[in-house]
Chain A
Amino acid sequence: MNLKLKALKKSLWVYHLSAGSCNNCDIEILDLLTPRFDVERFGIILAASPRHADVLLCTGIVNKKCVERIKEVYEQTPKPCVVVAIGACACSGGIFRDGYQMAGPLNKIIPVDVYIPGCPPKPESIIAGIVKFLRELK
């Protein structure tokens, strides 16, 4: 257990990446920053640029227009970084899995570390998923 990994677990800066979502998951993510849930107490803040980010929170089915952009953003994020798929669409495709615009769930495009299903997942379950992941991270 080295110091830098410990520090990474204590200060996750999040970049919010929407890959063609219906905005429900995005609203739930914004809820996390409100006083009720207050993820800043875990050191999680929203970063403005992917260059500052440690975590990519991806929502939505990945449609064909988004594929290039998602790869670009993933390359722009400095490593080590964590990719979190939020919502049924990003995890598996959800009800859109047979749609003509579907370019596959997120893990076909970039490696995904955490899956948080739900349509949309509750803020509590997003926090619970990330906390479980941080316990596993070594």
Chain B
Amino acid sequence: MNAIYNFVYFILSFLVLSIIGLFVSWIDRKITARIQWRVGPPWYQNFADIIKLSGKEILIPENGNKFIFLFSPILGLISATICGTIIFLVLKKNFGFGGDLILFVYLLIIPSLSIILGGSSSGNVLASVGISRELKLLLSYELPFICGIIIPAIKSGSTTSLIEIIKYQEINGSNILSFSGILGFIIILISSVGKLGVVPFDLAEAETEIAGGSLIEYSGILLGFYKLTKAILFVVVPIFVVILYLGGSEVNSFGGFLIFLIKYLIVVILITLIRNTNPRLRIDQTLRFFWGWLTLIGILGILLTLSGV
């Protein structure tokens, strides 16, 4: 009985996450269009894209590995949905254990890994360029991302539980209201732009250079699964940032939910603005940027947090 309940909860959260994610992706596209002085797509655009992709033919490359090619988009979608389910449960405050922060970091890596698996099984040259870039990108943004996670974890009394972090911020104010908090927020915001794979760091699927990169051989609903994974990550990663830094996750009352929604949209709009005002970086520039300045700021932030500033 319990297993059935969990399964239904998983499916429900998948549906909710997809609807919110596709809608937020539309907000992202619309803002992009307005910045470029265009009209932009209608609100149902992303839904139409996914429904259209589900009706298309699925082509499997001849010299690829068929099983991994079909399996990896589903793997990415499932892990992104698990992230979303955990975050919904944490926000409702009836789930959580010591170490779910670390679990979360691991689960957020799997969508990138699924892109790498899918690209490498498709047997295309441009896809292999794409996966090599995706792998280096994963290595480069993960270090500052973890710096950005350690800062609120130390602030909230050296805990690795998301609920403890939320509770600490309810009592003592948001983590961003201190000098080290501001540093940490900047770091985690830029690393999550890398995690979402949008423009300054979209070198893994650079459409103008390597024609879609790791996703080049995907067609039909498999491509739709990758688009859905991206959309769900667009929900999960900003909410994660909100939980860690902006606090105030009182979602059970209407006013609290509204404030939470505004905070979430602020993070989404910040990511969109970063994406619209920066050109694509090369992979060596990306690595230097993440492991150089951003990690230095991160270490400075951790030291400041330890000294209580």
Q: How large is the interface on A (under 10, 10 to 19, 20 to 34, 35 or more residues)?
A: 20 to 34
Whole-angstrom distance between the Cβ of B130 and the nearest chain A Cβ: 11
Q: Is the interface of B mostly helix, strand, loop or mixed?
A: loop
Q: A38-B39, A78-B56 in contact; A11/B216 too (CB < 8 A)?
A: no
> B38, A43: Cβ atoms under 8 Å?
no
Q: A8-B52, A52-B223 in contact; A43/B37 too (CB < 8 A)?
A: no
> B48, A11: Cβ atoms under 8 Å?
yes
Residues on A with C-beta less than 8 A from B219 are 51-52, 78
Tell me if B260 is interfacial: C-beta within 8 Å of chain A.
no
Residues on A with C-beta less than 8 A from B36 are 35
> B51, A3: Cβ atoms under 8 Å?
yes
- The 8 A CB mask of B29-65 against A (1 = contact, 0 = none) is 1000100111111101101110110111111000000
> B48, A38: Cβ atoms under 8 Å?
no
> B211, A43: Cβ atoms under 8 Å?
no
Q: A11-B45, A78-B57, A78-B220 in contact; A38/B51 too (CB < 8 A)?
A: no
Residues on B with C-beta less than 8 A from A101 are none
- The listed residue (B40, B54, B59) touching A40 by CB distance below 8 A is B40
Q: A4-B54, A52-B212 in contact; A35/B38 too (CB < 8 A)?
A: yes
- The 8 A CB mask of A26-65 against B (1 = contact, 0 = none) is 0000000001001011010011110110100000000000
- The listed residue (A10, A40, A76) touching B48 by CB distance below 8 A is A10
> B33, A78: Cβ atoms under 8 Å?
no
Residues on A with C-beta less than 8 A from B217 are 49, 51
Residues of B within 8 A of A (CB): 29, 33, 36-42, 44-45, 47-49, 51-52, 54-59, 207-208, 211-212, 215-220, 223
